[in-house]
């Protein structure tokens, strides 16, 4: 381990610094896409990332923060890995993260490979699949649930919200770093799925069996649809299994992340 390059540790004192503008731009999806980088905030999240083998390319910290052994370890790890450590006034960090009360650290991470071809389906019995989910909080919550049930990851079909948005990253509670993430169009996903083992399961009201004790089989791909419209009928028709949860009240559907979780825990009980 060589001595870290001191030029990769610097302090920013001005709001108009290009690094401030760059990091700030990552709050915008268009810039995230162009740069293929995203922002994660908070010591807990960055510590989870490191434990999952992910280090930020750039570690951002407020000057005048309280010393913390985990922050010190993060600094060393980031510098050792060739990354940058950037300190800035708390007011500048607040501008960067867009939060009034910024947490003392944040990190700029390279986005992961989200090609379907990067997914090795045999590593886990359960995979979550979201179709046209528009709420980044729901995506983050699905990642968090996926981590809990030992899922392999989350596959995003059609036009979903951005899993690398600040809201999704926050809601994932660190699972953004442990769950594999792939994005694909349905017409690419289906041939990929059928090119190997895999049971496609939809939460559905059409031609469905009760979700309790349904014949789940690994690797089991649990598909939930858009918050307003649900799954297209043609997608449901392609599923190997359609399951339904009791709906005893006036509503005819659950929140998408809730439906995914109830299904995922049921599949886990069957397959785990």
Residues making contact with a second copy (CB under 8 A): 48, 51-52, 137, 141, 144-150, 171, 173-175, 178, 212, 245-251, 253-255, 257-258, 261-262, 265, 268-269, 272
Comparison of 173 and 190: residue with beta carbon closer to a second copy: 173
Comparison of 17 and 244: residue with beta carbon closer to a second copy: 244
3-state secondary structure of 173: coil
User: Which structure tokens are listed for 151?
Assistant: 């899922």
Min dist. Cβ of residue 227 to a second copy (A): 10
Comparison of 59 and 257: residue with beta carbon closer to a second copy: 257
Q: Which residues contact 143 (CB under 8 A, 6 or more apart)?
A: 154, 163, 168, 171, 172, 175, 176, 179, 181
Comparison of 26 and 264: residue with beta carbon closer to a second copy: 264
Answer positive or negative: Cα dihedral of 89, 162, 52, 2: negative
Give 3-state DSSP helix, strand, coil % of the chain, rounded to 5: 40, 20, 40
Min dist. Cβ of residue 261 to a second copy (A): 4
Cα 95 to chain centroid, rounded = 24
* Among the listed residues 138, 126, 128, the one whose alpha carbon sits nearest the alpha carbon of residue 172: 138
Min dist. Cβ of residue 150 to a second copy (A): 4
Min dist. Cβ of residue 212 to a second copy (A): 6
CB 58 within 8 A of CB 40: no
Comparison of 19 and 103: residue with beta carbon closer to a second copy: 103
Comparison of 23 and 261: residue with beta carbon closer to a second copy: 261
- Distance (Å, whole) CA 233 – CA 227: 15
Min dist. Cβ of residue 149 to a second copy (A): 6
Min dist. Cβ of residue 73 to a second copy (A): 17
Alpha helices in the chain (DSSP H): 18-25, 29-35, 43-51, 69-80, 90-97, 136-148, 166-172, 186-194, 233-237, 256-271
Q: Which residues contact 117 (CB under 8 A, 6 or more apart)?
A: 192
Comparison of 90 and 271: residue with beta carbon closer to a second copy: 271
Min dist. Cβ of residue 38 to a second copy (A): 19
């Amino acid at each position: 381990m060589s001595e870290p390059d001191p030029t990769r540790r610097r302090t920013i004192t001005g709001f108009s610094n290009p690094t401030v503008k760059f990091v700030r731009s990552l709050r915008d999806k268009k810039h995230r896409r162009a740069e293929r980088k995203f922002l994660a905030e908070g010591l807990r999240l960055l510590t989870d990332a490191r434990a999952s083998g992910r280090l930020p390319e750039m570690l951002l910290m407020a000057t005048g923060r309280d010393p913390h052994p985990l922050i010190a370890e993060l600094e060393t790890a980031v510098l050792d890995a060739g990354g940058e450590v950037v300190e800035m006034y708390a007011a500048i960090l607040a501008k960067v993260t867009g939060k009034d009360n910024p947490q003392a650290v944040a990190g700029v991470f390279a986005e992961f490979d989200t090609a379907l071809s990067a997914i090795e389906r045999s590593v886990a019995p359960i995979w979550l699949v979201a179709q046209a989910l528009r709420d980044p909080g729901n995506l983050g919550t699905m990642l968090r649930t996926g981590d809990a049930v030992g899922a392999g990851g989350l596959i995003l079909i059609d036009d979903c919200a951005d899993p690398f948005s600040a809201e999704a990253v926050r809601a994932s509670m660190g699972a953004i770093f442990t769950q594999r993430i792939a994005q694909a169009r349905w017409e690419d996903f289906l041939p990929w799925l059928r090119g190997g083992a895999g049971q496609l399961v939809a939460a559905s009201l059409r031609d469905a069996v009760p979700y309790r004790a349904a014949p789940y089989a690994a690797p089991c791909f649990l598909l939930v649809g858009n918050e307003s419209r649900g799954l297209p009928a043609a997608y449901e028709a392609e599923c190997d299994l359609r399951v339904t949860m009791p709906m005893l009240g006036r509503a005819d559907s659950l929140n998408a992340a809730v439906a995914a979780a109830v299904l995922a825990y049921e599949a886990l009980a069957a397959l785990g």
